Amino acid sequence: MARELMKGNEAVAEAAVRAGLAAYFGYPITPQTESLEYLSRRMPELGRAFVQAESEVAAINMVYGAACTGQRVMTSSSGPGISLMQEGLSFIAGTELPMVLIDVQRGGPGLGNIAPSQADYNQIVKGGGHGDYHPIVLAPASVQESVDLTVLAFDLAEKYRSIVAVLSDGSIGQMMEPCELPPMQPLKTSFPDWAVSGAKGRERRFLTSINLNPAMQEEMNLRLMYRWQEVEANEVRYKEYYMDDAKFAVVGFGSTGRVALSAVRAARAEGIPVGLIRPITVSPFPSKVLEELSKQVEGMLVLEMNAGQMLEDVLIATHGQVPVEFYGRMGGVCVLPEEALREIKRLVKGPLTTTGHPRDRWLNRIAKKN
């Protein structure tokens, strides 16, 4: 199939349509709005459901209702809107419903700005709503990957009756790149045995997240956790670059992972034995991969557009076996390839340590305290 030049947000929207999206509910917020606009044209043209909701609170609850039918449903938003959706996301997790959430991250906290950021990592990955649940979180680094992961998101959501978030950012959402779109899938016509549709020729069904019996609620909690173990065992995805002979490893996800690759290539050109690990699933996190890696390399560098949120998962995975350094930009500022290369060289030069916290060293460094 031919490649087309598409804006990230529009490519994701069309990918969802082709993955069999039956209903979309959303609310305008920069830098995500083009998905909403695109689908406001595309969905009615195909006779599918589209509603511009009165708020993100309403949008996620429209998704909740539509998800109860077992159809493929999606919403998209950015930081402030994602915060408003946390109530609905917790209920959807508590009702064990599949849905796809696109988070095109922007600078925060608060209203922040509309520039790219990765500071929603904790909120999305750790499950920003109340209660114990884990969404599956996929982190694209290009328009093509956004397309591919959006399609995958629908399949995983159904397979595990789970929320699947595509954790993008303003740079990927707004950039135009050539991409190959997937073939058009028809809308689903058969639905799982939990979906509501009107009790025609069968017992009635109901879907709820309430269970006043704590012991039974705990059973539900356990079911979610066992299912999550299955996800952890089967769905970890990551990409590695130049790792075979690497003595140092950079870890970065999404667009920062892509920037890091440029820096790693530049470092290799200078003969520095460094590679890159780019988690595709930041949840489930490729912890075992990093644990193994911690035995191979002399030091790791974590790069993020936040204050070291994924860093914590790297530290847990490597549990002090290898020195880890951190470099981040915040507030909508991107890590540039030159900065990443400079940080790689700093890592290689040392000194390296496993004591103290990489975030403190980074903060002290940029405050010129050492």
Partner 1 sequence: MTINELDSMVYTRPDSLTDVSTHYCPGCTHGTAHRLIAEVIDEMGLKDRTIGVASVGCSVFAYNYFDTDFVQAPHGRAPAMATGVKRVYPDRMVFTYQGDGDLASIGMAEIVHAAARGENITVFFLNNTNYGMTGGQMAPTTLPGQVTTSSPNGRDVETQGYPIRTAEMLAKLDGASYVVRRSLHDPKNIRLAKKAIRTAIEVQMRGLGFSLVELLSICPTNWGKTPAEALQWLEEKMVAYYPIGDYKVHPAVAEIK
Residue 109 CB, shortest distance to partner 1, in Å, is 24
Single-letter residue type at 237: R
Q: Tell me which long-range contacts 319-323 makes (C-beta under 8 A, separation of at least 24).
A: 319/291, 319/294, 320/354, 321/291, 321/294, 321/295, 321/354, 322/293, 322/294, 322/295, 322/297, 322/298, 322/354, 323/298, 323/299, 323/352, 323/353, 323/354
Residue in the structure block whose two tokens are 């998704």: 63
Residue 130 CB, shortest distance to partner 1, in Å, is 11
Residue 16 or 311: the one with the smaller Cβ distance to partner 1 is 16
Beta bridge partners of 299: 248
Tell me which residue of 247, 267, 237, 283 sits closest to 340, measured CA to CA: 267
Residue 86 or 174: the one with the smaller Cβ distance to partner 1 is 86
Residue 308 CB, shortest distance to partner 1, in Å, is 33
Residue 53 CB, shortest distance to partner 1, in Å, is 7
The C-alpha atoms of residue 204 and residue 356 are separated, in whole angstroms, by 58
Residue 186 CB, shortest distance to partner 1, in Å, is 15
Report whether 93 contacts 164 (CB < 8 A). Answer: no
Query: Could you give the dihedral angle defined by the CA atoms of residues 106, 101, 229 and 155, in that order, rounded to the nearest 10 degrees?
Result: -130
Tell me which residue of 345, 258, 335 sits closest to 299, measured CA to CA: 345
Report whether 283 contacts 123 (CB < 8 A). Answer: no
Residue 75 or 256: the one with the smaller Cβ distance to partner 1 is 75
Residue 188 CB, shortest distance to partner 1, in Å, is 11
Residue 28 CB, shortest distance to partner 1, in Å, is 15
Residue 53 or 307: the one with the smaller Cβ distance to partner 1 is 53
Residue 39 CB, shortest distance to partner 1, in Å, is 13
Residue 22 or 280: the one with the smaller Cβ distance to partner 1 is 22
Going by their DSSP bridges, the two strands 49-52 and 238-241 should be labelled as: unpaired
Residue 39 or 334: the one with the smaller Cβ distance to partner 1 is 39
What is the CB neighbour count within 10 angstroms for residue 129? 19
Dmax (CA) for the chain in angstroms is 73
Residue 69 or 318: the one with the smaller Cβ distance to partner 1 is 69
17: Cβ contacts below 8 Å, ≥ 6 apart: 39, 42, 43, 46, 48, 184
Residue 59 or 274: the one with the smaller Cβ distance to partner 1 is 59
Residue 224 CB, shortest distance to partner 1, in Å, is 18
Residue 8 or 70: the one with the smaller Cβ distance to partner 1 is 70
Residue 62 or 290: the one with the smaller Cβ distance to partner 1 is 62
Cis peptide before 31 (omega within 30 of 0): yes
Residue 191 CB, shortest distance to partner 1, in Å, is 10
Report whether 303 contacts 335 (CB < 8 A). Answer: yes
Within 13 Å and on the Cβ side, how many CA atoms surround 51? 15
The C-alpha atoms of residue 273 and residue 285 are separated, in whole angstroms, by 25
Binding residues for partner 1 (CB under 8 A) = 22-23, 25, 49, 51, 53-55, 57-59, 61-69, 71, 73, 87-88, 91, 196-201, 204-210
